[in-house]
């Protein structure tokens, strides 16, 4: 025995299993005494459900928060962010400042979104304001690009209209709910292709908020040249960057998988657009990730047995503004290329180093503050405890000037203490 961590998983992926084995951990089954359980999202529902759930003991850790869906379901994420913005506005916080058009200056990072069928009428009102716009329909509970389609005419979503007499849309359960968002039809293109960013963010606790960002994110490119032309709205290879979709395109390449590292992206942007706008872009990306976490922090069940590694999907438009598209609770651990496998292996490795200190049997009463050396390729994105140590006025000064102080340019720094200047 001698204190070897006992692990269980219901996700049979080599990047996980290899990491457990390399630490000398012992595999057990779910019914035995386990210390570490890497679960799928279905399992976490059961563990924490009122009927079938069970209490976790102090030496047990799981890789999801009980109600992670507050962040990872498309409709709830938007709800929480909208609520957060309204709260800040009520408080009179400078963060909730709006411009002359009524758009939030600092908190407008999610495209206009409505739930269907609940907000159908609100949506129609918005749609009629700009009838030539394109909207994207996404099922709330699905992943990997399943069930997504684009529309540019109201008739295409007649089914979701509550007033429709011919409505064949029967099911009212939340599983069939859709969100409809304004489609970003001016994405930043590189080599004429659309891409999105996948960034990994590890949250060890929500209150106080402590999160880490993985330095080695990547861009996923579409194989086909982008065109906003309406004739290609049905061509998912043009519009959806999910690898699960692109994999089936004719031109999909299995060696590099249509991916670039974030550092490549940075090099390209700095070379073609300049240093300042690139740094500003990346600062904004960090900002929106932290804000999204803060938005759900109050409603998140901050169970001390939990940590979570999210996959953030971000799209950059041609004005170099980043948009948060969605957050994934179970980012894919499948590897599409050799490089991918190495990246995901290292990701899990660094995650485990932070979540399970020293690879020993965990005690979830610990303060969740790992030493700097174990961070690996993670860097501290935001640490609320540290931030609270600084004065509140620093934030006001830095935010209203839209700059992050003199250290803002040193974004390549390890330690990332610069990010705590805003709260």
Partner 1 sequence: MLQEESDISLIIAQIVQKLKGSNLYAQLERQAWASLQRPEIKLESLKEDIKEFFKISGLFPLPSHPAAPPEHLKEPLVYMRKAQGSWEKRILKSLNSMCTELSIPLARKRPVGEQKELLNKWNEMGTDEPDLSLFRPVYAPKDFLEVLINLRNPNYENGDSLSFRTHLGLIQVPLKVKDIPELKECFVELGLNTGQLGIDDSTQVPPELFENEHVRIGQKVLAEQDSAAAQQYIRQGSPTALRAELWALILNISSQPEDILYYEQLKTNVIQHDLLVDSLIYKDVKLTASNDDYYFVFEDYLYQVLLCFSRDTSVLNHFAYNSASPPKSYIRGKLGLEEYAVFYPPNGKILSINFFLSVAPLCFLYHEPSKLYQIFREMYVRFFFRLHSISSHPSGIVSLCLLFETLLQTYLPQLFYHLREIGAQPLRISFKWMVRAFSGYLATDQLLLLWDRILGYNSLEILAVLAAAVFAFRAVNLMEVTSLAAAEAVLADLSTLKVMPLLQIFLFATVT
The least distance separating partner 1 from the CB of residue 372, rounded to whole angstroms, comes to 14
Residue 191 binding partner 1, by CB under 8 A:
yes
What's the start-to-end Cα distance of the chain, in Å?
44
The least distance separating partner 1 from the CB of residue 260, rounded to whole angstroms, comes to 7
Nearer to partner 1, 51 or 250 (CB): 250
The least distance separating partner 1 from the CB of residue 377, rounded to whole angstroms, comes to 13
Nearest to 135 by CA among 154, 158, 117: 154
70/203 Cα distance (integer angstroms): 14
Among 121, 167, 172, 271, binds partner 1 (CB under 8 A): 271
Residue 190 binding partner 1, by CB under 8 A:
yes
Whether the CB-CB separation of 350 and 376 falls below 8 Å is answered with yes
Residue 27 binding partner 1, by CB under 8 A:
no
Nearest to 395 by CA among 287, 312, 308, 304: 287
Reported as type and span, the H/E element at residue 32 is none
Nearer to partner 1, 357 or 409 (CB): 409
Question: What single string gives the DSSP state of each residue in 212-259?
Answer: EEES--EEEE-SS-----GGGTT-HHHH---HHHHTTSTT--TTTTTE
Residue 218 binding partner 1, by CB under 8 A:
no
The least distance separating partner 1 from the CB of residue 13, rounded to whole angstroms, comes to 23
For residue 178, list its beta bridge partners: 116, 139
Residue 275 binding partner 1, by CB under 8 A:
yes
Nearer to partner 1, 101 or 231 (CB): 231
Selected range binding partner 1 among 127-135, 151-159, 206-214, 265-273, rule: CB under 8 A: 265-273
179/177 Cα distance (integer angstroms): 7
Nearer to partner 1, 37 or 221 (CB): 221
Residue 89 binding partner 1, by CB under 8 A:
no
Residue 406 binding partner 1, by CB under 8 A:
no
For residue 203, list its beta bridge partners: 211, 308
Query: Looking at the chain, how many residues does it have?
Result: 423
Residue 404 binding partner 1, by CB under 8 A:
no
Among 193, 247, 304, 321, binds partner 1 (CB under 8 A): 193
Q: What is the DSSP letter of 55?
A: P
Nearer to partner 1, 130 or 230 (CB): 230
Instruction: Look up residue 121 and give its two tokens.
Output: 């009428």
62/73 Cα distance (integer angstroms): 20
96/104 Cα distance (integer angstroms): 6
260/243 Cα distance (integer angstroms): 13
Residue 389 binding partner 1, by CB under 8 A:
no
The least distance separating partner 1 from the CB of residue 342, rounded to whole angstroms, comes to 12
404/283 Cα distance (integer angstroms): 8
Binding pattern for the stretch 326-365 against partner 1, x by CB under 8 A and - elsewhere: -------------x--------------------------
Cβ-based neighbour number of residue 239 at 10 Å: 25
Residue 186 binding partner 1, by CB under 8 A:
no
**Range 220-239, binding partner 1 (CB under 8 A):** 221, 224-225
22/251 Cα distance (integer angstroms): 37
Among 159, 409, 417, 421, binds partner 1 (CB under 8 A): 409
Q: What is the DSSP letter of 371?
A: -
Selected range binding partner 1 among 21-29, 46-54, 264-272, 365-373, rule: CB under 8 A: 264-272
The least distance separating partner 1 from the CB of residue 384, rounded to whole angstroms, comes to 25
The least distance separating partner 1 from the CB of residue 389, rounded to whole angstroms, comes to 23
Nearer to partner 1, 191 or 401 (CB): 191
Nearest to 235 by CA among 227, 154, 147, 243: 227
Residue 410 binding partner 1, by CB under 8 A:
yes
CA quadruple 114, 202, 339, 335: dihedral positive or negative?
Answer: negative
Nearer to partner 1, 261 or 349 (CB): 261
Cβ-based neighbour number of residue 314 at 10 Å: 21
Nearest to 236 by CA among 247, 191, 331: 247
Instruction: Look up residue 208 and give its two tokens.
Output: 């106080």
The least distance separating partner 1 from the CB of residue 270, rounded to whole angstroms, comes to 4
Among 192, 234, 360, 363, binds partner 1 (CB under 8 A): 192
Residue 260 binding partner 1, by CB under 8 A:
yes
Per CB under 8 A, residues contacting partner 1 are 190-193, 221, 224-225, 251, 253, 255-256, 258, 260, 263-264, 267-268, 270-272, 274-275, 278, 339, 409-410, 412-414
């Amino acid at each position: 025995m001698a204190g070897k961590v006992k692990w269980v998983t219901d996700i049979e992926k080599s990047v996980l299993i290899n990491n457990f084995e390399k630490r000398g951990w012992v595999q057990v089954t779910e019914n035995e005494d386990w210390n570490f359980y890497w679960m799928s999202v279905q399992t976490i529902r059961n563990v924490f459900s009122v009927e079938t759930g069970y209490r976790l003991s102090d030496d047990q850790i799981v890789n999801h928060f009980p109600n992670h869906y507050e962040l990872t379901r498309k409709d709830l994420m938007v709800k929480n962010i909208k609520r957060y913005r309204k709260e800040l506005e009520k408080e009179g916080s400078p963060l909730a400042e709006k411009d002359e058009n009524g758009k939030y200056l600092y908190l407008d990072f999610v495209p206009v979104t409505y739930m269907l069928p609940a907000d159908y009428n609100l949506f129609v009102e918005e749609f009629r304001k700009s009838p030539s716009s394109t909207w994207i329909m996404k099922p709330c509970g699905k992943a990997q690009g399943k069930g997504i389609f684009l529309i540019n005419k109201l008739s295409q979503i007649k089914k979701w209209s509550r007033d429709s007499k011919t409505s064949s849309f029967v099911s009212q359960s939340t599983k069939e709910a859709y969100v409809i968002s304004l489609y970003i039809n001016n994405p930043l293109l590189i080599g004429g292709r659309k891409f999105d960013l996948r960034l990994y963010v590890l949250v060890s606790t929500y209150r106080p908020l402590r999160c880490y960002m993985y330095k080695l994110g990547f861009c996923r490119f579409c194989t086909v040249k982008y065109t906003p032309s309406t004739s290609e709205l049905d061509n998912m290879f043009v519009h959806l960057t999910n690898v699960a979709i692109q994999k089936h395109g004719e031109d999909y390449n299995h060696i590099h998988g249509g991916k670039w590292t974030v550092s490549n992206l940075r090099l390209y942007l700095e070379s073609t657009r300049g240093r300042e706008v690139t740094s500003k872009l990346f600062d904004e990306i960090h900002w929106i990730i932290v804000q999204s976490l803060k938005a759900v922090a109050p409603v998140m069940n901050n169970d001390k047995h939990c940590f979570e590694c999210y996959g953030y999907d971000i799209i950059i438009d041609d004005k170099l503004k980043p948009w948060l598209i969605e957050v994934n609770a179970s980012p894919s651990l499948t590897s599409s290329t050799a490089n991918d496998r190495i990246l995901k292996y290292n990701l899990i490795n660094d995650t485990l180093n932070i979540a399970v200190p020293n690879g020993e049997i965990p005690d979830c009463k610990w303060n969740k503050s790992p030493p700097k050396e174990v961070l690996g390729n993670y860097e501290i994105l935001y640490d609320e405890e540290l931030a609270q140590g600084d004065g509140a006025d620093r934030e006001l000064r830095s935010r209203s000037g839209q700059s992050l102080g003199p250290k803002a340019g040193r974004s390549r720094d390890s330690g990332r203490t610069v990010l705590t200047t805003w709260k």
